[in-house]
Each structure stands twice: as C-alpha cells, then as structure tokens.
Amino acid sequence: MIRLENVSRTFETAEGMIHALSEIDLHIEKGCIFGVIGSSGAGKSTLVRCMNLLERPTSGNVYFEDVNLMNLPEAKLRKMRRKIGMIFQQFNLLEQRDAIGNVRYPLEISGVPKREATAKAKELLKLVGLEERMHSFPSQLSGGQKQRVAIARALATSPDVLLCDEATSALDPGTTRAILDLLKNINERMGVTIVVITHEMKVVEQICDKVAVIHEGELVEAGNVMDIFRNPQSDVTRHLLFPQKEGFEPAGHQRLTMIAEDEMRAPKVKKDLDETGLYVTEEAVWE
Ligand SMILES: Nc1ncnc2c1ncn2[C@@H]1O[C@H](COP(=O)(O)OP(=O)(O)OP(=O)(O)O)[C@@H](O)[C@H]1O
Ligand SMILES: [Mg+2]
C-alpha cells in the first residue's frame, strides 16, 4: 500500500544540518493498522508527512499502490492525495465553518455537487457519532468531538489510507480510547489502512497490528506488535515499553501480563516493595 524506500530528509537550519530521517525502509500493508512510535523529535511527523509528500524526502522513493509519488507532477500528486486522508493532534478544522461545512469542504473543492456533498457529509458525521452536532462550530465542540469531525472530513474523499499524527495526544484517556475504537471500527468496516503516529505505547497496544520504532531519524525495528512486545531488539524499544518511572508502573505491568497471557517467552519480572512499603515496583529483566 505505502512503501518507503531508503527515505532520508535533512533540514538546513541556522544551527547546521538536521538529519530528521536517515535511510528509512518501511512497508505498510493494505488493511492493517500500522503504528510508528518514538520519542519527541525522533522524526515521526516528518516520516508521516513524507508518506503523502507534504514533506518531500531529500532522497529515496515513496510508493503508494506501486506508484512512485516522487515522480508525479504536482496536479497528479494532489489527486493522489485524496486517497490518503490525514488527521492531526490539533484537529486543524476551519473555525468559520460548522461541522458539516468542514466535512463538506474537501468534496466542494473536488467539484462534488452541493446536494451530494451534503448527503455524504451527513452520512460521515453519523458514522463518527456526531450527526446531532452538525451545525456546531469547532469552538462549540470538545476536543474529542473536534477530532471526530476531523476524521469525518478526512474520510470524505473515500481515502484508502488514513494518516494520524498524534491524533489522540491532546485528549484525556477516556476520549483517547473512544477515538481509537472509532479508528479501529473504520479500519474493520471500511477497510481503510491506518497509520498511527504516537509517542505512547498504549496507543500501539490498543489498536496496532504492526509497529515501527524510530529514534533520532533512524528505524530501530519494525514488525508485529506482539513480536516486538515479546522480544524487543533495542534499548530504545525497551524504554518505550517499560518506562523507568519511580514507583509502580501499571502500564508496564499490563504489558507483561499481556505477553505472559500469550504464553510466549516473557522477561523475568523483578518485584520489590518501594520505600513506602506499599507499592510493588516492577522491573523487566531481559536476559
Ligand atoms: N521544517 C523544519 N525545519 C528544520 N528542522 C525541522 C523541520 N521539521 C522538523 N525538523 C527537525 O526534525 C527533527 C524531527 O522532527 P519531527 O517533527 O519529525 O519529530 P517528531 O518525532 O514528530 O516529534 P514530536 O513527538 O515532538 O512531534 C527535529 O529535530 C526537528 O527539529
Ligand atoms: Mg510530531
């Protein structure tokens, strides 16, 4: 579906050259939910923007359905981008348009007649559970509702892929879960391939089939989520899986349980009472 081949992106800045991405090879298969995880500044947004050429790689190739986007003239690229929807952490809605006006917008600019565009927009707002609020403006909606409008808008052109750059990072845990459930639903019901960029392992855990870990612009490892959870190959991944915080780390505990339930090789867990004597601290010991 999307294939990055030897993709690098550098930026010239006053402080010198920044290697945001270095020789990335990645294959996102049709129908999957693919996570890209890494810490802040790792290159995640640059990577996802290279997938639809919002950011042009300095070198390498980007294939969408076997078409090399790097070779397409601007007009053809714009057309191709309708097949690749995108949502963002800050929603990026048009403030002066109501919910239905936002969802209709991509249809209007691609020349769909108004009546047809309105019908499609209503259908999409229903899909994301917001038909009751179609005449509300972004300023009247909560973060989760705004992201639902953004998802409906991204789906308006019937894309094959939906790119999500930290789509839940501005939301509380409950709303995050609801939006991730919605994305999973869209993947399963509509067959839309989904790429999820995140710095949170719990997002990968909840919905992704595959995951790629990036660090300082380099691909550290990529594969099935369960394989990587069971047997991470790098310290970067281990740190993302089991962040060493003081005290009890429930997320780490759940992950170990999940791996153990799968009856596969799990790390040994060293348990200790912390200094208060109340909470068990856990540490994954990889041998
Ligand atoms: N337009 C730009 N000009 C110069 N440097 C840039 C530009 N865009 C990104 N960078 C640099 O490239 C590196 C990767 O940035 P990027 O935004 O892709 O990281 P990220 O993983 O998305 O981080 P975050 O989790 O904070 O969003 C950073 O060092 C950043 O400063
Ligand atoms: Mg980013």
CA atoms within 13 A on the CB side of 6: 5
Looking from the CA of residue 38, the nearest atom of ligand 1 is 21
Q: pLDDT over 90 for what percent of the chain?
A: 77
How far apart, in Å, are the Cα atoms of 144 and each of 169, 174, 179, 181? 11, 10, 7, 12
**How far away, in angstroms, is 166 Cα from ligand 1 center?**
13
Matching residue, tokens 């995050």: 176
Q: What residue's CA is closest to ligand 1, atom 31?
A: 41
Beta bridge partners of 269: 284
pLDDT tens for 209-236 read 999 999 999 999 999 999 998 899 999 9
> Given a cut of 90, is residue 135 above it in pLDDT?
yes
pLDDT tens for 240-281 read 888 765 444 445 555 655 554 443 444 445 555 444 444 444
**How far away, in angstroms, is 45 Cα from ligand 1 center?**
7
Angle between helices 114-127 and 99-109 (to 10 degrees): 130
One-letter amino acid of 172: D
Structural tokens at position 243 = 């962040």
- Among the listed ranges 7-11, 29-33, 261-265, which one has the minimum average pLDDT value? 261-265
How far apart, in Å, are the Cα atoms of 280 and each of 90, 116, 250, 271, 274? 37, 59, 10, 6, 6
Tell which wins on pLDDT, 163 or 260: 163
- Ligand 1 test: best mutation among 44, 58, 198, 213, most atoms within 8 Å of CB? 44
Q: What residue's CA is closest to ligand 1, atom 28?
A: 41
Beta bridge partners of 8: 59
> Given a cut of 60, is residue 41 above it in pLDDT?
yes
- Neighbouring residues of the ion ligand 2, judged by CB less than 5 Å: 45
CB 281 within 8 A of CB 244: no
Q: What residue's CA is closest to ligand 1, atom 14?
A: 43
